[in-house]
Structure 1
């Protein structure tokens, strides 16, 4: 059902279920329901299991607007809590994807035991409050029907289980696979990867090869035919629950612990002295405190040292790190701390998440989601400008573009004579970066805003700047 023009903005990623649609009105996140979905919602809202999941923070807070607003054109309208920052599964680490999968299964298991199910099983049904996953697709719940399988099984495999199997069993980072296809990894692709002795690895015989064979066998059968076959075979809610418990057991067993890398212990191996680090921490703390941001970005977060400093003063911090193993270690630490205001994300700043899905807007690009009041770009510029050959002007354009007008960009310039810069330059042809100089950097920086503080670190080869970006 279309939403009439009443100051409402339809969520581009919410169109696949015609029975309900997410849209925005100012700062509110709303969901319109048709007649059938409204009946399902009211039954769900009256159930104990759903109230318990919301109270535990496992499902996003939701309430029905009564009376139903007459200007939106739906039988019922729900209002959801706003998630602080929307992320995509290909921006998560292995531990994040596994915990998201386990929450999805826990929600489904609770629903089945109470006579409900979910229509789908997508990783996109989950978001994050810091390092805690939360199920957001309230419109996915519906009453369970005896003899019918879980409709979301294939989506769960393709967007959650298969990526976990890929990394746990083969050591391949799953993020590029999920970024390439919004619907995830197809069973046929997985079967090709898991041949020979790999066929016997945990979860593969049932959820890859048997699943793929069943799909091929029923390729020309209708959904109603498949359901009828399952009912005739005695498929029941108890069997569905047993399947979910088996999936939970499998997912808990899956793990991936990569070996050490240069970046996994960067704080120890980098060129900072103790006085440099103390001066840098003091500068960051003062800059963020002066801004009192709603949202802060820490670009190149590594072990989260500066993200934690930012979290002293910001409502919410998104910590971006290119190396999946480093980001996963940060996530596990934040999860163990119970941190709900720092969200860690895997992303290459030289290749940030683009828009994806239908018409390129179903999943918003990182730049369209990340307008922050404070952006920390510490020990980042030289890696992009020298390590990745990005023009210095382009690096600053990107950093300023992620900063809200009037917000603060806290950026570090590593001088050409710094040991880290010299190491990067040693791998490049001589004379390739004539503009990589402090004078050129400061001139480019001035085009984007007003420098309110500048500090040279004690070692004399790095300078920190706080710049208020032009409105």
Structure 2
């Protein structure tokens, strides 16, 4: 690998990187670095010299990585790597079903290639995968190590709990997996799965082997040490060929678990919403001009639905994060973007009235959405009324949040749906009379002016919706 000098700047440890004491990720002068101890450095250099790893890099299945030469003297590591920066860090409970499934398949493909070349991975967590747009990429380069004969894949349990079990829950039971993963950073425990898949459900694809037999084996070896279990497996003839057979079986199972969510209210929203064709055209032109005027950078599309405006933003932006509450809508968007080979739009599942909080150790191991998502342009189209009326969030707080997600000097592109708009009337009909006396256009414009400078405004031809472009902090 090509070596480069390390810039002189302060190190900042990545809060989510501490579980493997042999290596840790840091940030320094805008770069993503990984420090390695002596053993991990030896594993890395053997990995860097291997053909299979070069192939993974060439196929963009693993994040770009290079070792820094000479090793900086001001850090306590035997070697330091520099990784490419992923455009936006997301968490598995923000993915759609198709995204989680593709992340699992990538994980297994990376492991298969590693085992074939005499390597393995230390873990099997869904958090080892991130995204370049709609393309998954394996990021945990520090997980690779030389395979040892007779030892099983150390990451099997993690793979089951954070990837396979959530897929089984949704494919076989029709339950969205996201709340399970958001509730527990380590995923779904085998005991919980056994309660969900009792009786006849145990015969569904993958359940008997990877839930019940796996759980029974864990119970049987609960008092045994890891070294004892490994010795038992070696004496029983466990081999690399058996490990590869397990990976092939898991890959076949995950491919069979393709799940297509049914139709929902939001999946047909573009047809059923109140927009006329002139409204739609005026809105598209306004968004295109606003993003083009701001220039390259990150765009955050809040309430993205089918991605119509995210695609427009992607004409000008470096990357777009498209957030939508409905998992079925996000899954349809993801599959379309994947087929298009789109590398700039990342679709995510999230309720904006209940965005992803910080989680894990000390609440910072997995950063909150609001700590990750600041953007040069924030699109809040047909969103404010759903939060302010539908979810009873005070209008000033809605705008505070939108402004907080926009970098200083960046653009907030926001749509105000007037109280007499058909959609607003529908939401207001379900609320007590007089509950929202401040939901008025003049109040909205006053709140906008307090948070930035309005540089663009257009009335949609229907006359019941207004679009604004606001330079936040300007």
Classify the TM-score, shorter chain. Answer: over 0.9
Q: Provide TM-score, normalisation by structure 1.
A: 0.98
Number of the residue aligned with 1:244? 247
Q: CA deviation at 1:293?
A: 3.3
Q: Is the 8 A contact 1:6 1:72 kept in 2?
A: no
Determine the structure 2 residue equivalent to 1:20.
23
2:108 to 102, 105, 126: 105
Q: Distance in 2 between matches of 1:166 and 1:391?
A: 36
Name 1:48's counterpart in structure 2: 51
- Cα distance per residue 1:210-232 (max 9 Å; x no partner): 00000111111000010011001
Secondary structure of the structure 2 residue equivalent to 1:309: helix
5 Å-filtered alignment, 1:69-468, equals 69-468=72-471
Aligned counterparts of 1:349 and 1:59: Cα–Cα separation in 2: 31
DSSP 3-state at the match of 1:197: helix
In structure 2, distance between residues paired with 1:76 and 1:258 = 46
How far off its partner does 1:47 sit? 0.3
Q: What stretches of structure 1 move > 2 A for 4+ residues in a row? A: none
Q: Secondary structure at the match of 1:400?
A: helix
Q: Which runs of 5+ in 1 are unaligned?
A: none
Q: Deviations over 1:182-212 (max 9, x none)?
A: 0000000000000111000000000000000
Q: Could you tell me how far 1:28 is from its partner in structure 2?
A: 0.8
1:33 is the counterpart of 2:24? no
Quote how far apart the aligned CAs of 1:258 are: 2.0
Residue 68 in structure 1 maps to residue 71 in structure 2: yes
How far 1:6 sits from its partner (Å)? 5.7
Q: Distance in 2 between matches of 1:36 and 1:164?
A: 35
* TM-superposed deviation, 1:45: 0.3
Q: Determine if contact 2:9/2:29 at 8 Å carries over to the other structure.
A: no
Instruction: Provide the rounded CA distance (Å) in 2 between the counterparts of 1:365 and 1:259.
Output: 29
Distance 2:239 2:123 in 1: 18
TM-score normalised by structure 2 residue count? 0.98
Q: Is the 8 A contact 1:457 1:464 kept in 2?
A: yes
In the aligned structure 2, how far is the partner of 1:338 from the partner of 1:187?
36
